[in-house]
């Protein structure tokens, strides 16, 4: 991204920075506060925001009647569709029979606006005849595959790089920091699709928890004024795709490279930011709570 004077222009154009291209309700788990979810769906409907859908892990789908009633009410409030999360990490806590129930009933309520993510894990669980909860350890023994992330999307980011890394790290390669310096972010750090707003008001680029582009309640200001790079040094490096520069910046503030290496570029980036957030109050590293619970 090129500097425009001392101000970096907004990464999003006026035709894409607003909510006018769709909205999904995620979390955490949105159904933990069902009343608030219904209210949010109603507001989105009143504002005529298209393509609204909710993501859920189906923990709440304890019987058919409750599941159908909650989904039907959301549809009546204006919700267009649903995304049902299926993966081994939720399987540890949510009986698969609840996931199957939600999928079956959602087909009747939302029709073709039902999404299953990830479909490959759903196929595997069905193939294995799973109905209840299964721990990660037991699932890996059940599956008997060489690579449990084969044919699926899997991002080594956030707590996964630390907590899951301790459990499964021996099965994956780790690399020195400079291995990732010239590799692009996957998906792209700056993009005009699938970005998030958290409950603290932070405008989050993509899936990059702990990074804020600004206040989501004041998007017009972000669009007009852009991002002052001298005020947000961490964003400056990330927007220029200069992870090597961010690494050196952090080293100058006492950061030490991990001797074990890193699973991904996201892992390295998160580890650097985890160090920086305790060294100085970087406004772009928010919410601070994100960094308190990584390990």
Question: Residue length, the chain?
Answer: 295
Alpha-carbon distances, residue 179 vs 52, 154, 172, 265 (angstroms): 39, 19, 15, 9
Q: Distance between CA atoms of 65 and 268, rounded to whole angstroms?
A: 46
pLDDT value at position 181?
96
Q: Residue 7 has what pLDDT?
A: 35
Query: Could you tell me which residues are beta bridge partners of residue 4?
Result: 7
Residues 6+ apart with CB under 8 A from 260: 169, 174
Contact at 8 Å (CB) between 45 and 266?
no
Give the alpha-carbon dihedral of 229, 233, 234, 238, to 10 degrees.
Answer: 40
Residue 156 CA neighbour count, 13 Å, CB half: 22
SS3 category, 284: coil
Helix (H, G, I), strand (E, B) or coil at 54: strand
pLDDT in tens, the chain (295 residues): 222 223 344 444 433 333 446 889 998 899 999 999 999 999 999 999 888 999 999 999 999 999 999 999 999 999 999 999 999 999 999 999 999 999 999 999 999 999 999 999 999 999 999 999 999 889 988 877 657 777 888 888 888 888 877 777 677 889 999 999 999 988 788 877 788 888 888 999 988 999 999 888 887 777 777 777 778 999 999 988 899 999 999 999 999 999 999 999 999 999 999 999 999 999 999 999 999 988 8
Q: Is the pTM of this model over 0.85?
A: no
Instruction: Report, in angstroms and rounded to the nearest whole number, the Rg of the chain calculated over CA atoms.
Output: 21
| Helices (H), ranges, 129-242 | 136-143, 163-168, 219-225, 233-239
The sign one gets for the Cα dihedral 147, 148, 151, 153 is negative
Cβ atoms of 78 and 53 within 8 Å: the answer is no
Residue ranges in 63-199 assigned as alpha helix (H): 64-77, 88-91, 96-110, 119-128, 136-143, 163-168
């Amino acid at each position: 991204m090129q500097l425009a004077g001392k101000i970096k222009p907004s990464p999003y154009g006026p035709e894409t920075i607003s909510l006018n291209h769709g909205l999904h309700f995620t979390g955490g788990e949105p159904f933990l506060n069902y009343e608030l979810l219904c209210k949010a769906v109603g507001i989105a409907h009143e504002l005529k925001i298209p393509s609204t859908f909710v993501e859920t892990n189906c923990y709440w789908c304890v019987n058919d009647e409750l599941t159908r009633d909650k989904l039907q009410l959301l549809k009546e409030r204006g919700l267009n569709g649903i995304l049902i999360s299926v993966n081994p990490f939720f399987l540890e806590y949510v009986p698969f029979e609840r996931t199957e129930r939600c999928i079956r009933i959602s087909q009747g309520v939302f029709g073709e606006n039902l999404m299953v993510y990830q479909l490959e894990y759903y196929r595997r669980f069905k193939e294995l005849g799973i109905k209840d909860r299964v721990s990660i350890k037991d699932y890996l023994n059940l599956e008997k595959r060489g690579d449990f992330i084969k044919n699926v999307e899997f991002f080594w980011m956030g707590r996964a790089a630390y907590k899951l890394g301790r459990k499964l790290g021996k099965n994956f390669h780790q690399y020195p920091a400079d291995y990732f310096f010239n590799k692009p972010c996957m998906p792209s750090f700056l993009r005009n699709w699938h970005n998030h707003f958290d409950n603290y008001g932070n405008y989050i680029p993509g899936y990059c928890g702990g990074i804020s582009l600004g206040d989501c309640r004041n998007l017009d200001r972000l669009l007009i004024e852009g991002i002052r790079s001298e005020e947000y040094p961490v964003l400056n490096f990330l927007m220029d795709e200069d992870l090597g520069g961010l690494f050196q910046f952090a080293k100058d503030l006492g950061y030490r490279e991990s001797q074990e290496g890193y699973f991904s570029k996201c892992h390295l980036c998160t580890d650097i930011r985890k160090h920086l957030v305790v060294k100085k109050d970087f406004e772009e590293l928010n919410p601070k709570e994100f960094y308190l619970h990584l390990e």
